[in-house]
Amino acid sequence: MTSVDKAQWIDVYRRLEKPLYNVVYRVIWDAAESQDVVQETFLRCWRRKDDIRADGFKALLFRTALNLASNRRRSARLWRMVGVSALDDVADESASTGALSKPVRDAVEALPTMLRDVLLLTELAGMTYPEIATALGIAEGTVGSRRTRALALLRERLDVPGVVTHEY
Amino acid sequence: MNTDALFKQLEPPPGGAERFARRLDEISAARPSPRARVLAIAAASAGVALVTAVLLLRQPSDAPAVLVADTPPAVEVYDAPEFDRLLGRSAPPAELMVMVNMEAAAVTEIETTNQNVRIYQIN
């Protein structure tokens, strides 16, 4: 790896760390674990850098992050079942400045995974519908319908008249 | 409830980029260069090819070695007329039969000075 390659990867990391972290955090609810998943995501993509197309990079990055986060979440649940708490029920809110309140977390947790993933990518990753469709392997129209359903469920769960989101 | 909190952008723990740079360095150091990988693969392939060739060409060690000289041919082989000249034997005289227009014709042997040549005249 040349120093130019390394500098470029670190630059991309700086630009995408925050949206990736926010998406991953809302899956596993642990700041340190989330940052670790973000790093692991970048390292995995870096190992496959020769096979990655530039136009599909962002989709691959978020797809990988969601997969890794889901694996960690599943692993944490298994540990909890056997009595060892890897990710505590109460997230380490002290590690992340301005972490989310429990009602918000519960509302996101209550969403089905396929709706949650779409919502996280549309609202937090700043991705376009085509990018999300590529990342999740679904049609662009499905992205829109799932987002609408996810917002409706959240609205119902949080008991608010409307949820303000970005317009596309 | 304030819905802004739902999609609030949280700040990741500090030092992420620096840690990522360190991990990149560690992996790069542990990872062999492409040239080294190609050489290793080539060496391994050559080794496998050599072992395969040796196994294919080597005689099975548990099978008894069979030499051609140890197995004499059957006796009747030596009696075949094809071996007469090879073994220095004179061919036994054979009766000559000539057919002309689907009928047997009489022949007369003419003398020659070469004992290996026989000449016949069809009557």
d(CA A24, CA B20): 17
Burial class (CB in 10 A: 0-12, 13-18, 19+), B106: exposed
Which of A98, A126, A152 terminates a domain? The answer is A98
B34 to chain A, any CB pair closer than 8 A? The answer is no
pLDDT score of A163: 52
Q: Is B27 on the interface with A (CB under 8 A)?
A: yes
Tell me whether strands B119-122 and B107-110 are parallel, antiparallel or unpaired: antiparallel
> What is the reported pLDDT for A168?
46
Type of residue found at A58: K
Nearest residue on chain A to B18, alpha-carbon basis: A10
B122 lies in some domain: no
pLDDT of residue B81: 75
| Predicted pLDDT of residue A97 | 43
Is there a contact between A58 and A127 (Cβ–Cβ < 8 Å)? yes
Same structural domain, A66 and A26: yes
Q: Provide the domain count of chain A.
A: 2
Cα gap B47→B71, rounded to integer Å: 39
B1-15, B68-82, B83-97, range with the lowest pLDDT = B68-82
pLDDT at A95: 46
User: Is residue B117 over pLDDT 70?
Assistant: yes
Residue of B nearest to A45 (CA): B24
Best residue of B4, B6, B11, B23 to probe chain A, by most A CBs closer than 10 Å? B6
* pLDDT at A92 > cutoff 60: no
Q: What CATH number corresponds to the domain at position A109?
A: 1.10.10.10
Complex confidence, ipTM: 0.75
Which of left, alpha, beta for B37 (phi over 0: left; psi -120 to 50: alpha)? alpha
Whether residues A24 and A83 fall in one domain: yes
Residue B67 has pLDDT above 80, yes or no: no
In degrees and rounded to multiples of 5, residue B98 shows phi and psi of: -120, 135
C-beta of residue B12 within 8 angstroms of C-beta of residue A21:
yes
Residues of A in contact with B5 (CB under 8 A): 100-101, 104
What pLDDT shows up at residue A71?
Answer: 92
| Within a domain: B25 | yes
A130 and A93 belong to one structural domain: no
Tell me: the pLDDT tens digits for A10-53? 999 999 999 999 999 999 999 999 999 999 999 999 888 888 77
> Do the strands B107-110 and B98-100 form a parallel or antiparallel pair, or are they unpaired?
unpaired
The phi and psi torsions of B120 (rounded to 5 degrees) equal -120, 145
Top-ranked range on mean pLDDT: pick from A93-107, A117-131, B17-31: A117-131
pLDDT band, very low/low/confident/very high, at A76 (cuts 50, 70, 90): confident
Domain extent, residue B40, equals 14-57
Could B12 and A38 be called an inter-chain contact, meaning their C-beta atoms sit closer than 8 Å?
A: yes
Phi-psi category of B115—alpha, beta or left, where left has phi over 0 and alpha has psi -120 to 50?
A: alpha
Residue A152, chain B, CB below 8 Å: the answer is no
Range of the domain at A145: 101-168
Q: Are B91 and B84 in contact (CB under 8 A)?
A: yes
User: Mind listing the pLDDT tens digit for each residue in A139-164?
Assistant: 999 999 999 999 999 888 887 655 55
- Supply the DSSP symbol for B86: T
Average pLDDT value for residue range A120-149: 93
The strand pairing partners of B122, in sequence order, are: B107
How many CB atoms within 10 Å of residue A9?
20
- Given A44, A75, A98, which residue is the final one in a domain? A98
Q: Who contacts A130 (Cβ-Cβ below 8 Å, separation ≥6)?
A: A140
Q: Is the pLDDT of residue A96 over 60?
A: no
**Residue B92, domain member (yes or no):** no
Inform me whether the pLDDT recorded for B51 exceeds 70: yes
Tokens of A120: 């996280």
Chain A residues touching B23 at Cβ < 8 A = 39, 43
Of B5, B10, B21, the CB nearest to A6: B21
Looking at the fold, whether A2 and A84 belong to one and the same domain comes out as: yes
Higher per-residue confidence, A62 vs A2:
A62
Tokens of A81: 């079942």
Structure tokens at B1: 């409830």
CATH number of the domain encompassing residue A40: 1.10.1740.10
Local confidence band at A94 (pLDDT 50, 70, 90 cut-offs): very low
- Does residue A119 share a domain with residue A36? no
- State whether residue B24 sits within 8 Å of chain A by CB: yes
CB contact under 8 A, A35 and B13: yes
* Mean pLDDT, chain A, whole residue set: 83
User: Does A74 have pLDDT greater than 50?
Assistant: yes
Question: Would you call B5 and A107 a contact, using CB atoms and an 8 Å cutoff?
Answer: no
Do A7 and A84 reside in the same domain of the chain? yes
Count the Cβ atoms, other than its own, within 10 Å of residue A86. Answer: 14
Q: Which of B8, B9, B17 sits opposite A14 (nearest CB)?
A: B17
B114: in domain = no
Tokens of A135: 């990342």
What secondary structure letter does DSSP report for A125?
A: S
Which residue would you say has higher pLDDT here, B73 or A149? Answer: A149
Q: Name the pLDDT band for B14 (thresholds 50, 70, 90).
A: very high
Q: For residues B59 and B57, what is the distance between their CA atoms, to the nearest angstrom? A: 7
